[in-house]
Chain A
Amino acid sequence: MSDAAAAIDAEGIALKREHPARATIKRLLRHRLFMTGLVLFLIIAGIAILAPWITDTDPNRLSMRNKFKPPGEGWIFGTDSFGRSLWSRVVWGAQLSMLIGASVVALNAVFGILIGAAAGYFRRIDNLLMRINDALMAFPAILLAIAVTSVLGPSTFNVILALGIVYIPRTARIVRSSVIVLREMEFVQAAVAAGAGHWRILTRHILPNAMAPVIVQLSFLFAFAVLSEATLSFLGVGAVPPTPTWGNIMAEGRDFMREAPWIITIPGIALMITVMGLNFLGDGLRDVLDPRLRIQQ
């Protein structure tokens, strides 16, 4: 709703005209937490995109002469136990993390909305879809992801698939609950009364109004996906070493925590910054788009 005290003209229509989307963007830009998160996320994303240009060594090039070099003096982040440049590995790791995060979010956006909308709108298939959902949600996320990758085999693609399968039910549930509320709204009933078909009702009336909680969920999901991918790599069921992922780097650095603490610390900090940035972003989106959630949590 717009400000109640907004100026109105003779016919009682608000004078200040503002597109709802623009008003939302304005509020986001004023939200400090959101902006902090956005900046952190953009830094990491920028580094990930620029990886080929800001690194000069192959992340997998071994150099036994240079192993365990501490950060500084020619090696920005130092080197690991095989003499590989940690800067190079962390930067390329950022790219992989962003790729996986974005892919999982995209998978969720497509299938979560599809399944959620179908279940919420066509009540006849609701029960079936939601019981499958419940079965998948009964497993702890990371255990289910491990199970899926160990069946499919460890690879970047399979990690994306596994995390997609793990999180889609959660997204679907959020979409479904919004759709159930919206389908009973009078403006939807009015569209039915006008003779609108299912497709029009879903795409024009229900989904545009159901998006706020979904966008919030997807921003948090990005963080979950990055974190889960690191966890899977760390546990050795993610992308195969020597693929430079933050989880892999940390797993390799764990053995040398005393001698070369930077190997495990630096990717850890990178992971922390990314997840924190995304959480700030999500909190900001939630405050602006879906303020009711704040009270519930």
Chain B
Amino acid sequence: MTEPLISAEHLAKHFDVGGGGIFLRGKTSKLRAVDDVALSIMAGETLGLVGESGCGKSTLGRLLIRLLDPSAGSIRFQGQEITGLGRAAMREFRRSMQIIFQDPYGALNPRMTVEDIIAEPLVIHGAKSGTETRQQVIEMLEKVGLPRRALDRYPHEFSGGQRQRIGIARALILKPRFVVCDEAVSALDVSVQAQIVNLLQDLQRDMGLTYLFIAHDLSVVRHISDRVAVMYLGKIVEVAEKRTIYANPQHPYTRALIAAVPAPHPSQRSRGKREHIAGDIPSALNPPSGCRFHTRCPHVMPICREAAPSLIETQPGHQVACHLMTEAKA
């Protein structure tokens, strides 16, 4: 098997919550946003990452490109360890890893022109602002489907979809290899979503990009991804090829998620018993013992409350973290 473009092992991010600074060093609790996650993404593929809000998807995405510093674990990019790299050493890698954000309003500096916004990564990496840089920006604008006239406009003059295109242009101007799309289409209208998803796919083909596509909309993920990872409360519970995971989801949580996607027509509704999960996602401040899903799992067993299941391969390329699978295998 070839080496993955980016991989993470035992990756964790804990946030300290509470406590009052110097004098009031009270009790702080740890919010385990990402807890002991292993993940690898092959060059050129799109890994969809799904889960409920607050499950740590965005945190995981930001950890991988070192926008956040991990509390534990390691990240390797093109075979090189990038976990402990300082700001300066990280700079070269920043060329190769970029991010596209969810909110098309908050992602663009309202006081900069589109040209300045898109050119900034180039300038940071040593380009002189001049005709050459401008030419690059214009080419990038064309690639994302914006006219040249956009150059000296300000973000507020554009619609949500156009702003998202500007954000994409900024992320891709350095010709990165790995791009985190952090809910990149979630804030857009459905018709615009389709356009942006298609644009992302075209760009992926043209520029040889590798995506981590974070979303909570399973149908969008299904459209764009090669493989899908499902996250629950800071842990990855299932990873598989897209086709496998949609046709044969094994983790009860994945099954519930997929069953919850509305069918376009009543005749397409899946027959048989629908997996149903009740209640809300528990707090990551105080996650349940053992398997984190046991409080909502319809198939909970005594062992689920005691031991956390680890990701095991049930079929080639299909990994699940569930005691049901472990039992079945044994």
**Residue ranges of A at the interface with B (Cβ–Cβ < 8 Å):** 1-2, 11-14, 17, 19-20, 127-128, 131, 185-187, 189-197, 200, 204-205, 208-209
Interface stretch among B1-9, B89-97, B299-307?
B89-97
20 further interface pairs, Cβ-Cβ under 8 Å (given A12-B158, A197-B87): A13-B147, A13-B149, A13-B153, A14-B153, A14-B157, A20-B154, A131-B23, A186-B101, A186-B107, A187-B108, A190-B107, A191-B120, A191-B124, A193-B97, A194-B94, A194-B121, A194-B125, A194-B170, A195-B95, A200-B124
Q: Contacts of B108 on A, CB cut-off 8 Å?
A: 187
Task: Let me know if A187 and B109 touch, CB within 8 A.
Answer: yes
What's the least CB distance linking B230 to chain A, in Å? 25
Q: Does B82 belong to the interface (CB within 8 Å)?
A: no
A20 touches B99 (CB 8 A): no
Do A1 and B101 touch (CB < 8 A)? no
Contact of A195 among B112, B124, B162 (CB under 8 A): B124
- Of chain A, the residue at the smallest CB distance from B110 is A209
Quick check: is B22 within 8 A (CB to CB) of the other chain? Answer: yes
State whether A186 and B98 are in contact (beta carbons under 8 Å apart), knowing that A2-B156, A131-B22 are contacts in the complex: no
For the complex, what is the distance from the CA of A190 to the CA of B121, rounded to whole Å?
A: 9
Residue B111, interface by CB 8 Å: yes
Sorted nearest first, the 5 A-B pairs with minimum C-beta distance are A195-B94, A194-B121, A186-B107, A186-B101, A14-B157
Task: Evaluate whether A190 and B22 lie within 8 angstroms (CB atoms) in the complex, with A2-B156, A205-B109, A209-B111 already known.
Answer: no
B120 / chain A contacts, CB cutoff of 8 Å: 191, 194, 196, 204
Chain B binding surface SS class: loop
Given contacts A186-B107, A187-B108, A195-B124, contact A17 B153 (CB under 8 A): yes
Contacts of B109 in A (CB 8 A): 187, 204-205, 208-209
Q: A12-B162, A13-B149, A194-B120 are in contact. Are A208 and B111 (CB under 8 A)?
A: yes
Does B52 interact with chain A (Cβ within 8 Å)? no
Closest Cβ–Cβ distance, residue B58 to chain A (whole Å)? 11
Give the docked Cα–Cα distance between A196 and B147 (Å): 27
Q: Is the interface of A mostly helix, strand, loop or mixed?
A: helix
Q: Which B residues lie within 8 Å of A19 (CB)?
A: 154
Which of A13, A190, A193, A208 meets B157, CB within 8 Å? A13
Q: Is B174 an interface residue (CB 8 A)?
A: yes
**B67 is an interface residue with CB less than 8 A from chain A:** yes
Cα A186 to Cα B91 with chains together (Å): 19
Chain A residues with CB under 8 Å of B111's CB are 20, 208-209
Q: Residues of B contacting A128 with CB < 8 Å? A: 22
Residue contacts A-B, CB under 8 angstroms, 26 given: A1-B156, A2-B156, A11-B146, A12-B159, A13-B147, A13-B153, A13-B157, A17-B157, A20-B110, A20-B156, A127-B22, A128-B22, A131-B22, A186-B102, A186-B107, A187-B107, A189-B62, A189-B101, A190-B99, A190-B101, A190-B167, A193-B97, A196-B124, A204-B109, A205-B109, A208-B111
The answer for the CA separation of A193 and B179 in the assembled complex, in Å, is: 11
CA distance in complex: A195, B98 (Å): 10
Residues of A with C-beta under 8 A to B101: 186, 189-190
Q: Which of B21, B121, B157 has the most CB of A within 10 A?
A: B157
> How far apart are B64's CB and chain A's nearest CB, in angstroms?
11
How many Å from the CB of A194 to the closest CB on chain B?
A: 4
Residues of B within 8 A of A186 (CB): 101-103, 106-107
Chain B residues with Cβ under 8 A from A200's Cβ? 124
Q: Bound state CA distance, A281 and B106, in angstroms?
A: 30
Q: Quick check: is B65 within 8 A (CB to CB) of the other chain?
A: yes
- For A11, list chain B residues within 8 Å (CB): 146-147
Q: Counting CB contacts under 8 A, is B218 at the interface?
A: no
Q: How far is the CA of A131 from the CA of B110 in the complex (A)?
A: 33
Given contacts A13-B162, A191-B120, A208-B111, contact A2 B99 (CB under 8 A): no
Contacts of A187 in B (CB 8 A): 106-109
Q: Smallest Cβ distance from A220 to chain B, in angstroms?
A: 23
B150 contacts A by Cβ under 8 Å: yes
Known: A187-B108, A195-B94, A195-B125. A13 touches B158 (CB 8 A): yes
Chain A residue numbers with a CB within 8 Å of B112 are 204
Contact with A along B207-245 (1 / 0, CB 8 A): 000000000000000000000000000000000000000
A119 to chain B, nearest CB (A): 12
Cα–Cα distance between A208 and B167 once the two chains are bound (Å) = 20
> Measured between C-beta atoms, what is the minimum distance from B54 to chain A in Å?
17
* Contact partners of A1 in chain B: CB under 8 A: 156
CA distance A214 to B121 in the complex (A): 29
List which B262-312 residues lie within 8 A (CB) of chain A.
Answer: none
Q: Within B49-76, which residues are at the interface with A (CB < 8 Å)? A: 62, 65, 67
Bound form: Cα–Cα A189–B98 in Å: 11
